[in-house]
Homo-oligomer: A and B are copies of this chain.
Amino acid sequence: MTNDSSRQTLTPTADAAALRELAGQLRADSIRCSTSAGSGHPSSSMSAADLLAVLVTRHLRYDWDDPHSAANDHLIFSKGHASPLLYSVYKAVGVVEDEELMTTYRRHGHRLQGHPTPILPWVDVATGSLGQGLPYGVGVAWAASRLDHSDAHVWVLCGDSELAEGSIWEAFDRASSAGIADITAIVDVNRLGQRGATAHGWDLEGYRRKAEAFGWEAVVIDGHDVEQVDKALARARESDRPFAILAKTVKGKGFSEIEDSPSWHGKPLPAEMAERALAELGASGDIRVRGPLPEPSEVRQVAAGGAVVQLPRWDQGEKVATRRAYGDALAALGADPRVVALDAEVSNSTYAELFAKQYPDRFFEAFIAEQQLVAAAVGVAVRGYAPFASTFAAFFARASDFIRMTGISGTSIRLVGSHAGVEIGPDGPSQMALEDIASLRAIHGSTVLYPADATSTAALAAVMVELAGVSYLRITRGAYPVLYPHGESFEVGGSKTLISSGQDQVTLIGAGVTVYEALAAAQVLADEEGIAARVIDLYSVKPVDAATLVRAASETGRIVVAEDHYPEGGLASAVLESLAAHDAPAAVRSLAVRSLPGSGEPHETLDAAGISATHIVAAARALVHG
């Protein structure tokens, strides 16, 4: 090895000295780019530089010219704040130029973001919220091995701090219990978090005991000894179990002034310190890496191609729960080989079991671990499938941060939340989703659908297969009459006007169960008050049907919105936001769940919440006579 400036290319046969030199370059570049940006996490990058140098040169099978090849391994930085290291790797493999690294990192309008996102073609998932990369990796590995029968291996770089996140242990638990072997957690145990030592410091053996207790094979190594790293990575791919490399490392390794110091988390080195660091590292800065390519393999290419889906059919008036309709529709959609279902141990309530019985190979059981449920869906989507993940709507709150990050990733996943609202009755408030519309509407790029009947549920489930981003289908426990004929069309951003006339004095808007309450209210208003009420089924909550709302505002001037949700951020907010955006004034009354609900029969809980037909009638009457 020489230290001159002529370009040097490392291949998988690189020796230890060359790997160490590459690690030095990764450290130097991590320092250089973060100093140039004036922010970033060089010290957290430096601790993992040896791990990455060996991985990308000798073990990561990746065609950098074809990042979307299904044969590629996956490299996920669960510790997303080590982006300087990741981007320095990208430079080393030749897909990012030094100039881009030095002039655009963390700058406005550029792709080398502070934490990695899939705006870069080599990034599968956005990270930066700790504890997420490993659960995503479990989903990717499950899809790669079980759906694609691929040899692709998933390598996840984790920090030690993030092992405090429960989501990491959901991933450990599920990877082993599902028999997923093609995943390796490389844990950079540098013992220091943001504000000081972690709870476990360098207790590498403690981490090993935990990983082993969770069914993983695990080794403890010196993360700066490239030969130990190499041996561990080789063993990781061979293992028939998920594999944890617990690497003892030093934060800031390579620059003595900051090594193992708790004071240098997330801080770029000032220019003069950076100079001293570069001198101490002595990196040539011009090493290129040509790591191994994936082995030629027959990776199944999933495609929509010609699947004939026959959606289930119901008679109008027949009483069907939308959750049951979802299950039937999902099973029908299974004819499309892209469709994958996931559930969190409630598939007999969400009726995802109907899919699981028909397509067991394309069903992922997350057990009661909603973060892993959503993360697995994301991983499945990364491999090109169309995942539907279901649980009780209330319990998606468990995975809010994963859903938020998925909005940032731009990954297309479908979430289906059953047992929404007070409508569930006797189980009480812990099982009642009453804030999910607010949460899901506020996800970047999301779609929120809330059908009332079986026909619309099935139709919208089918529409969701092609939807980009996070889409959410809110469904109901109880059985209600089918409103729409088979074949009726339902669009994202649409609505259905169920009752209208030229004389409407008020518009009643519902979605899901409150559509039935609105219909009943309109009947009472017509029969007993002589008030003509328009009724709109606003099944698309985001985007919302602005044209229909504006027309209703203009033609009736009065609107009552009833929703089985808390008053903030739900259906009424969607209506008000849309009317405001279109300068369509109307007198709007919002009926929503304002007091804490309790157990009871559905008709009692709906009425107690003030969202039953009785309350809609009263609100409409007051508006009209008002």
Contact = CB atoms under 8 A, between A and B. Distances in A.
A42 interface: no
Contacts of A577: 567-568, 572-573, 576, 590
A600 B38 CA distance: 11
Interface string A533-572: 0000000001000000000000000000000011111101
Contact of A599 (B110, B127, B572, B598): B110
Nearest to A448: B568
Contact of A429 (B117, B195, B200, B214): B117
A565 B443 CA distance: 11
A177 B195 contact: no
Chain A to chain B: the 10 pairs with minimum beta-carbon distance, closest first: A166-B166, A128-B430, A108-B600, A569-B569, A435-B442, A438-B442, A114-B428, A400-B400, A397-B401, A169-B169
Interface stretch (A90-98, A252-260, A285-293, A403-411): A403-411
B170 A166 contact: yes
Contact of A347 (B169, B195, B372, B569): B195
B106 A599 contact: yes
B439 A108 contact: no
A572 B40 CA distance: 33
A345 B195 contact: yes
22 contacts: A40-B426, A80-B430, A106-B428, A106-B600, A109-B608, A113-B428, A113-B429, A114-B427, A117-B429, A130-B368, A162-B368, A164-B174, A164-B367, A164-B369, A194-B349, A210-B210, A397-B404, A400-B439, A438-B439, A438-B569, A442-B565, A573-B577
Among A169, A583, A589, residue most surrounded by chain B Cβ atoms (within 10 Å): A169
A435 B443 contact: yes
Contacts of A430: 80, 114-115, 117, 126-129, 405, 408
Interface string A400-444: 110111011010000000000000001111110011001101111
A597 to B, nearest CB: 9
A209 interface: yes
A332 interface: no
How many copies of this chain does one complex carry? 2
Contacts of A346: 194-195
Interface string A126-155: 111111000000000000000000000000
A345 B161 contact: yes
Interface in A154-211: 161-162, 164-170, 173-174, 177, 193-195, 198-200, 206, 209-210
Nearest to A605: B108
Given A347-B195, A576-B577, A576-B580, A114 B426 contact: yes
Contacts of A570: 442
Nearest to A430: B128
A294 B426 CA distance: 35
A604 interface: yes
B213 A199 contact: no
Nearest to A161: B368
A596 interface: yes
Contact of A441 (B198, B366, B568): B568
A398 B117 contact: no
Interface residues of A, number: 114
Contacts of A427: 39, 106, 114-115, 128
Nearest to A445: B596
Contact of A166 (B199, B371, B608): B371
A108 B601 CA distance: 7
Among A126, A166, A567, A569, residue most surrounded by chain B Cβ atoms (within 10 Å): A166
Contact of A439 (B107, B169, B442): B442
Contacts of A576: 573, 576-577, 580
Contacts of A589: 580
A581 B589 CA distance: 7
A588 interface: yes
Nearest to A40: B426
Contacts of A177: 199-200
A199 B212 contact: no
A357 to B, nearest CB: 12
